[in-house]
Structure 1
Amino acid sequence: MSEVIEVVRRRGGTATFAELRAFVSGRAIRRALADGTIRRIAKGVYATPPAADPLAAARAQAGIVSHLSAAVLHGFSVLDLPTKPQITVPHGQHRRLSPVDCELHWADDVPSEGRVTGKLRTVLDCARTLPFAAGLAVADSALQLRAVDRSQLMVGAAELSGPGCRRARRVAAAADGRAESPLESVLRALLIQAGIKGFEPQVVVRDDGFSARIDLGHPELLIALEADSFAHHGTRRALTRDCRRHVSLTIRGWRLLRFSWEDVMFDPDWVVDAIRQVMAGSPGHHNSPDTVGARGDQQVMRRL
């Protein structure tokens, strides 16, 4: 995937010229326009072209919709939409000539009925073939939607063999249905890969006059991590709400680190380093009399 289309997709499928130029050159943008990688939908606004129908691609190849394409059809949240339909066909079957372009996968156990791989099979296919963070986002979403349960996922991953089976088991072990967005899953994946422990998804902070839920919270160190997307925080009302929430958490002894999509996706080393620096300074911060007094009778609860 080119850098241009990567930026567009990670901004939800559209981007302005200024948003693209923050990460790629003007020449790269012009080249992407010329070869059809992106298209202009308004003055200074660009989008990815519509993807081919995965069900049509599956019929054309006498296969079944699978991997990320199946995850989308099942309603799972995904980090990146597939650039072309992903189809699985039996081993030994050759690609058929078709005007519908697709990405083919081969397997021994291709279901003979149905047009889409089952929910558990889809999660495991994504877990074994995608990067850890992207696979975790799919698994988290499937658990959150109760499309699969944790025991099914663990058993299914344990029974896998062949390429990607270790990666799938790692995803299954880390998956958590409390996660509420792909970006939150990616932020948690960064912590896992960096060996940073103690953070839990959707920690609730509550006392008599205040209640808030934190994307990732460290209850012992009182560190809160938020994965912020512009879609949920880009209005004046949202800004006012977020500022008050931030102040209220600070009063109660929490240190809140907010990371944008660009932070998490394009500068993960900086994100991890920032979290480590805050954790390193936690003992002195939380031993001060003022901070201890600010905590009062607040309750820190894990969302089940």
Structure 2
Amino acid sequence: MEKYVSIDILEEDIIRIDVNLLKILLKDRTTNKNIIWATDDYIELGNGFLSSEQITIEEITGIYGTVIQPRITKEKNEQNLRTKNRAEVFTPSWICNEQNNLIDEQWFGRKNVFNISQKNNWITNDKKILFPDNEKFSWNKYVDAKRMEITCGEAPYLVSRYDTVTGNYIEVKDRIGLLDRKLRIVNENVSDDKWFEWVVRAFQSIYGYEYQGDNLLLARENLLYTFIDNYRMRFKEDISLKWLETIATIISWNIWQMDGITNTVPLHSRLYQQGNLFESFDTMENTISLPCKIKDWRARKILLFKNLMRE
């Protein structure tokens, strides 16, 4: 397939479906505001594009409709700068596949479950995936098994709509992400009337965090369009807005913005007054850490990620 086909999701296209979808994808569930840029790459566009500023709909649509793009579509010098300044290096899909295969090899107790890895590529197993004759390793348990991609970038380990290094579009049947695999299992084992229920559970079981706001939005969009791709492949019709908003809400919780060193919201600080016994009040700038929240959908609890790390 032609290079770059269908890989850049335009925010204008999301608005054409419904503007509320984009509002949900921009939501930071910890601050209850929007995610922030958390990068200086766009400061030449004005004050609204400073690293500490929230990303608004107005800043990524209209005349700014192509501001946020996948790494592969950026100019080479911009890619190099992001690598230098943020150590941003994206992993080719064939490597993501090999590493994800290792996870499934441990889970299933056998190799080559979803595909056979080849040099810089893979051959998809077209037969229905078989599960061990054991309740602990049923297809239901596989869909519910929690998976997380740290510093996820555009989330190539979770969903593989395209190869983040070559830009090649990947057909749904050949995708290798952790969520892609769960959705395949749902497609192979669930009737139409139960399909959405189990797709929701699949989305609720995968997590990822990212520092930079533009990458985070790309990751969230990739997950949403992965749902759209699977729905259209299954039903070949338009999706209800209610279903789209349900999936977008899960994504906004499970793919979140975080400084992975401190487990807190990036660049979060405020000014406050501190008293001095002998002088007048001085204005002191102090960094107030805000621990990131995530949701355990099965337990129906909102948790602090830092507490999970301690456990």
TM over 0.5: no
In terms of Rg, which structure is larger?
1
Structure with more contact order per residue of length (Cα contacts < 8 Å, sep ≥ 6)? 2
TM-score by length of 2: 0.26
